[in-house]
Amino acid sequence: MTLILGIETSCDETGAAVYDLEQQRILSSVIFSQIKEHEKYGGVVPEIASRSQLEKINSIICASLQEANVSIDQIDVVAVAQGPGLAGSLFVGLCFAKGIAWSYNKKLVGVNHLDGHVFSSFLKGVFTPSNNLTIEQNIGFPHLCLSVSGGHTSLYLVKDFGSYDVVGQTIDDAAGEAFDKIAKVLGFGYPGGPIIEKLAQQAGFQDYFHYPRTKPRGQEVFFSFSGLKTAVLYDLVKRGAYDLNVGPIVQNLTDELKQQVASSLLVCIGDIFVNNVKIAFKKYPNIKSFTFVGGVACNKYLRSRLELICNKYQKNFFFAPPQFCTDNAAMIAFVGGYKALKNEFSDLTLDIKIT
Ligand code: KG4
Ligand code: ZN
């Protein structure tokens, strides 16, 4: 039995998970989210994030071992997220992982955080301690993967475990960042995605204001969201609901207007995704599966839009279970597992990679 302890501290979540490589089962996944600590600042404050990681890391790892019902002696490999992410946060997980590897004589694997997201679609079902997760066997290679979070928006051609090419990516902001920033303009805290989804649902997912969509560049897959953010802001100024010097004009920024903005924004981002996915399907007609991963893949509306287009093009659609869309250590342990199989171990000089 090869047991992998996964550690994830890239940003504002402290995660630890145990993965049984032989049985292909996630035995535990514990996560502490710092959302409450950053909410009032409208975004993640790096200094607060790293201090909070330091406070939580030991107890989260202990909890993950306990939940898996294994002791540290039974762990064979420590897999740790190396980056990209916030330097201070990454250091906490990496130093802890090195400490465990050195003092208990375990093998060490550095895992790229983005690889974690890309392969999170293989984590199947809903995890509870009594219902260990199995691994999705039907995705296959090559497949297309749309990975969208607060830091990235990329479409990949995934050729094998650990091997993928960028088909297209954002040239400026990530889609998650657009949700976060526009939610902030509307007066909401971080993260913005879930509240935008809720408001959009209240407005019936209608396209009230038809914000500008990025124009396709021929057959090229590419994303851009910074212009969209500005367009939403200036539209609110035009409607007398926002002043660029003062901020929201509360009497005009009504609940109804907020819902309509959120709804138009979500439909717009849905259209941008669908347009790009169609281009990718034409470019790679033989691929059979499409996966949607990253924090933004929690969004049910976007999932349903992508599922629809997959059905139309006869592709199998997979998305990471919501608990593994946002940052988590199960995806790090899983990637650590196939890296261990390929003997891709690191020594104690392993360093963080912030980009
Ligand atoms: O993957 P993740 O946890 O962290 C990064 O690596 O960035 O993604 C966080 C992002 C945030 O921008 C958040 O607003 C977005 O995922 N998000 C959502 C939803 N839940 C989280 N966006 C849209 N709809 C959601 N339901
Ligand atoms: Zn992430």
Among residues 115, 116, 97, which one has the least CA distance to residue 57?
Answer: 97
Asked whether the predicted pLDDT for residue 355 surpasses 90, the reply is no
Q: pLDDT tens digits for 294-338?
A: 999 999 999 999 999 999 999 999 998 899 999 999 999 999 999
Among residues 74, 59, 56, which one has the least CA distance to residue 19?
Answer: 74
**pLDDT mean over 234-258:** 95
Q: pLDDT tens digits for 45-73?
A: 999 999 999 999 999 999 999 999 999 99
The residue whose CA is least distant from atom 3 of ligand 1 is: 326
Q: pLDDT tens digits for 100-114?
A: 999 999 999 999 999
Mean pLDDT of the chain: 94
**Using an 8 Å Cβ cutoff, are 143 and 287 in contact?**
yes
Cα 321 to ligand 2 centre (Å):
14
Cα 32 to ligand 1 centre (Å):
15
**pLDDT mean over 159-186:** 95
Ligand 1 site residues (CB inside 6 A) read 11, 149-151, 176, 179-180, 191-194, 197, 294-296, 298-299, 326-327
Query: How high is the pLDDT of residue 127?
Result: 57
